[in-house]
Structure 1
Amino acid sequence: MQSIGIIGVGEIGQAVVEGLRSGGGAAPEVFLSPRGARTAAGLSERFEGVRVCADNQEVVDRSEVVIIAVRRQDHHGALAGLRWDDDKIVISLMAGVATDDLRRTLGTGAPIIRAIPLPAVRERRSTTVTCPSHPVVDSLFERLGGALPVPDEDTFNVFSALTGTLTAHYAYLATLTSWATDHGIASDAADRYVRSLFRNVGRSLSDETRPLHQLAADHETPRGNNERIRTTWFDPANTAALKEALDGLLAQLR
């Protein structure tokens, strides 16, 4: 693969470029749409072989693989009228836009692969779900931290729903910090401690020999502090509410 185009240079598009350009070695040319002009211009200034195109059609024409990373509600306006040769490979990062719907918008017989890269691709540490499996696309995301191909869009949408929990986790941590400040802890000290606490939890997730429920048990003492919070706050009703929220998101994605 000699060239990649990105239409929609937001947070994820930027992370993909940074991941491709980190770690040395040969990297494909990257062609960016003018959408997100400031971010695109900054990437072009930072990295050799990264160029900002005049319009989205130029991105398509210059690229073997084209990543579409615009917002779902903007994709018709950004993509309608573009001409696509069937030898292109299209990677859609748009949650909730089915492959058949996108194919009608693009009017192409080119392969369309859906993917869910996360911002950690910039450090090459994101496992990216892809659907369906495609050797070029899976190889690209293996380079950025790993590929997890799934066979159909129903399965893909379940993983897409899981990504919707990410900011809830940050909000949970922010609530812990807020609670501590309410009890007289300086906000910077509370923030520092909560970050340290859960950074260590993140490291334990690297141990894939233990399932998640086992990790929880291993960090808990019977009748201890962790067990108390888990059983009083994360009770059956709370668990059911989380699953209900995920079910609602999954229904929307489908």
Structure 2
Amino acid sequence: MKLIKKIIITGEIHAKTGLMIGGSNTAMGIGGPDKTVIRNPITKQPYIPGSSLKGKMRSLLELSFGNIGSKKMGKVENGPSEDPTHKTTVLFGSARTDGQQRPSRIICRDGFLLNPNELKNTDLPFTEAKTEVVIDRITSAAMPRTFERVPAGAKFSLNIVINVFDDDPFRDELQTLTFKALQLVQDDYLGGSGSRGSGQVKIKIDRIIERTSEFYHGTVPQSSIQIDSIPEDLR
């Protein structure tokens, strides 16, 4: 197995509605939000974990192929993870224990807040408190709940790396599959409470570069991929 190249995709994720990426509630006091967002422990700024983006990309891509499979006793059966040659398994990897596991070919890095100065006048540091009311369908009693969200207008960094190896099936499609997954996220939602208005994002890819294995040996320069290769709704 030989590394052919790394495809490095950079850009921004714009929150078009409030974004709810859950964190820990252990530090919240009485009267605080019922659910909080995840924050950098040093800067206290919210961020998008790479695991949240990658998990959403994978689940939506699997849904688009119609291969989620059935779930029995906590295990998904007959899904893409059962087939080591399936496109989503090649891109995202598999944790099978029968010797046919595959390492992930895609790296989704954490997305850090790019415009903290624009979020100074918010209810909480860089975030907002959103109150929702649950109505008991029997008694009609109102039960308010408060959630912490990153407000609309927040911008986060996007950084994705695709590793392409010579023995990968569909290796020429890995970049296209990544674009498709990002388009699906953009037309769905990121984080929690998406069906109640949260999590709509706009993804903007600014640059794609290729670094071949020869680049890392100092024999060839890196190359940029033409912007025309990026789907129009991701520019």
Calculate the TM-score normalised by the size of structure 1: 0.21
Q: Larger relative contact order (C-alpha < 8 A, sep ≥ 6)?
A: 2
Indicate the structure with greater helix content: 1
Indicate the structure with greater strand content: 2
